Structure 1
């Protein structure tokens, strides 16, 4: 006999039936369930074998991550994507998929500190070696590949962190493709400024925490590329527990809505702010691809026709002066991230590149006085007034 009158305890414990509706929500809903109800064992087999579409456990996939991955893949002109718990999660999952004991990973010089640490320090413990090349000079990658027939992956950044060196995507992509080695490009600093996959890149990585999320309330990453390779990366990310959660995926989708407007606005503001910093007598050097003084300016003009992005770096002339400057800023906070709607500054030597070899940092130009600026949506005159008074104080 069916039991039509369950107890209060049973009613509280069981999920309610979904409401009947002939309409669909305009905004994507947040779906926080960590596990999914499946009709029977045949359906479980079908889901695992790829014969049916759906979800069973959130670490392996959920609707919000699937929607976000699809949006990012289409944005970059890729076949598929996977959402990870952070930008480093996406980078680590990709390298773990392609690297192996005795294999070599080739890194562009000046790469983000944690990426370098992952390969040169952590994966070295498991027999993975690495080499270096200059991302603005494709011939240096060709030389590195010739010297390393065991190369499994090439890693570069569209714009390097924090020196904003420009990767010659077409040149580097052609050399990697000729050698049959996948090229992964970290595109975090340059969403919408160019399309790396169309220029020869195999995989594109984003820290969605930054410019795509756009509001300093997300910790998430993603990698997009060929469907078969993304499937392998997705399996590794699930096994290592590196996949992203539903709420942050939903937030990143919301942030992506205004990305084109933010990229356009911050690129214009950053160019003007960089020009003023470059002309200030108390700034030792200013690094911004839109400046004629930048070593990769000609390449940047060709590769980024619509603007040069939101990131600026400048040297205040030593750690003490950098410290006085950030303390003197009245409205611009020191915050070790980037991409927020409000302008922030960071100090690479004590944050993103902390613990790196001091001699290497000096050689690359990551000096104790270097300050990185993430330009937000404020009026440029308000930003300059704050920087100008802080420079005088410093």
Structure 2
């Protein structure tokens, strides 16, 4: 039916009608609209009351984010999920949703520096207390809960950053569930290596910026878990402006297509590279869960099987040597993130753990000579050639 004639000004100003189609796109389309057209006030009430499905304002949610959250929830065996503006946004929204003034959060040792800072420094200003436990020894969590049984949340990582200590997910989850305290696990370093929810974990967070999107062109995070908790986290995320955008959600959906292939390839390459680094006389220690020398090797084998992920750390003994090695690398860039298709290196003391006090760094084993490697898709011989000449120079 032809449209009524309107002025050029009106025609240019108004959005066109969506094209009619009896077919569906194979790839999910990008939907960048920040606001959605609503039929009337009763429809607004139905949307906010959960009696109608749809979108209202992108800060609350949008189609690309909903598609991504659903895919991640299915991948992890969860009921629901929410996509946030970054991995820290997802963790912050979860902690804010689960704690209150006077509450207590239990943090695993070796936790990512910003997560520790969020709870220990920022939330402490609002009366939130914290304690630590050893994620490799669930009895230390039981002891911490017994001393003060008022914890509102437990936070751990499948593999710690940067030393790749493995959390005994099944054991820690059993203690948490026995105490009735939700357990949030940051699974950023270990997508597809295991399924934490199947092991008893309550909530699983990912920095989608990293391995899941896989191309260093996204800043995004997510948390998945029980529908009622995710609903509360989504509400907090909207209130604090932490919901992720449509374009990054679409890019992450695109990147996930190759995630299984990348996990297989980088796990093989990382194990080979870790063995070569461990054999080098210029390296004082290597941390990789696939090596028998790693303190959690048997636990990692039990949880992961024969794939141990893309991350390696190694120590060259001193800050100056680390700097010389980084500068001597010809093709491997120094970049303070991880999970790209291209191999990168980082220096935890000056990046991820910057600002931590020296006593904490010493306790964690994060030394000035420590270098973190995010293994990409290159040939392992080419990677080793670059590391070998840089080690000689350092």
The TM-score with structure 1 as length reference comes to 0.99
Q: CA deviation at 1:6?
A: 1.1
CA–CA distance in structure 2, aligned partners of residues 55 and 99 of structure 1 = 28
CA–CA distance in structure 2, aligned partners of residues 50 and 79 of structure 1 = 16
- The C-alpha deviation readout for 1:30-49, integer Å capped at 9, x for no partner, is 00000000111111110000
Q: Which residue of 2 aligns with 1:198?
A: 198
- The C-alpha deviation readout for 1:169-213, integer Å capped at 9, x for no partner, is 000000000000000000000000000000010000000000001
Count residues with an aligned counterpart. Answer: 393
* Aligned partner of residue 313 in structure 2, secondary structure: strand
Pairs within 5 Å for 1:108-127: 108-127=108-127
CA–CA distance in structure 2, aligned partners of residues 134 and 255 of structure 1 = 34
Q: Which residue of 1 aligns with 2:186?
A: 186
Q: CA deviation at 1:53?
A: 0.4
* Structure 2: gaps (5+ residues): none
Pairs within 5 Å for 1:311-330: 311-330=311-330
Preserved contact between residue 314 and residue 372 of structure 1 (Cα < 8 Å): yes
* Aligned partner of residue 89 in structure 2, secondary structure: helix
* Aligned partner of residue 43 in structure 2, secondary structure: helix
Q: Which residue of 2 aligns with 1:237?
A: 237
Pairs within 5 Å for 1:27-46: 27-46=27-46
Q: Which residue of 1 aligns with 2:176?
A: 176
Preserved contact between residue 176 and residue 183 of structure 1 (Cα < 8 Å): yes
* Aligned partner of residue 146 in structure 1, secondary structure: helix
Q: Which residue of 1 aligns with 2:249?
A: 249
Q: CA deviation at 1:306?
A: 3.7
Preserved contact between residue 275 and residue 291 of structure 1 (Cα < 8 Å): yes
Q: CA deviation at 1:61?
A: 0.7
Q: Which residue of 2 aligns with 1:363?
A: 363
* Aligned partner of residue 91 in structure 1, secondary structure: helix
Q: CA deviation at 1:80?
A: 0.1
CA–CA distance in structure 2, aligned partners of residues 167 and 17 of structure 1 = 52
Q: Which residue of 1 aligns with 2:347?
A: 347
CA–CA distance in structure 2, aligned partners of residues 147 and 278 of structure 1 = 41
Q: CA deviation at 1:64?
A: 0.1
CA–CA distance in structure 2, aligned partners of residues 148 and 88 of structure 1 = 27
Q: Which residue of 1 aligns with 2:151?
A: 151
Q: CA deviation at 1:364?
A: 1.4
CA–CA distance in structure 1, aligned partners of residues 94 and 19 of structure 2 = 40
Preserved contact between residue 265 and residue 377 of structure 1 (Cα < 8 Å): yes
Pairs within 5 Å for 1:132-151: 132-151=132-151
Q: Which residue of 2 aligns with 1:266?
A: 266
The TM-score with structure 2 as length reference comes to 0.99
CA–CA distance in structure 2, aligned partners of residues 18 and 222 of structure 1 = 30
CA–CA distance in structure 2, aligned partners of residues 69 and 17 of structure 1 = 28
CA–CA distance in structure 2, aligned partners of residues 4 and 291 of structure 1 = 72
- The C-alpha deviation readout for 1:125-180, integer Å capped at 9, x for no partner, is 00000000000000000001111211000000000000100000000000000000
Determine if the alignment matches structure 1 residue 381 to structure 2 residue 381. yes
Preserved contact between residue 193 and residue 306 of structure 1 (Cα < 8 Å): no
CA–CA distance in structure 1, aligned partners of residues 148 and 206 of structure 2 = 27
Q: Which residue of 2 aligns with 1:286?
A: 286
Pairs within 5 Å for 1:90-105: 90-105=90-105
Q: Which residue of 2 aligns with 1:71?
A: 71
Determine if the alignment matches structure 1 residue 390 to structure 2 residue 362. no
Q: Which residue of 2 aligns with 1:8?
A: 8
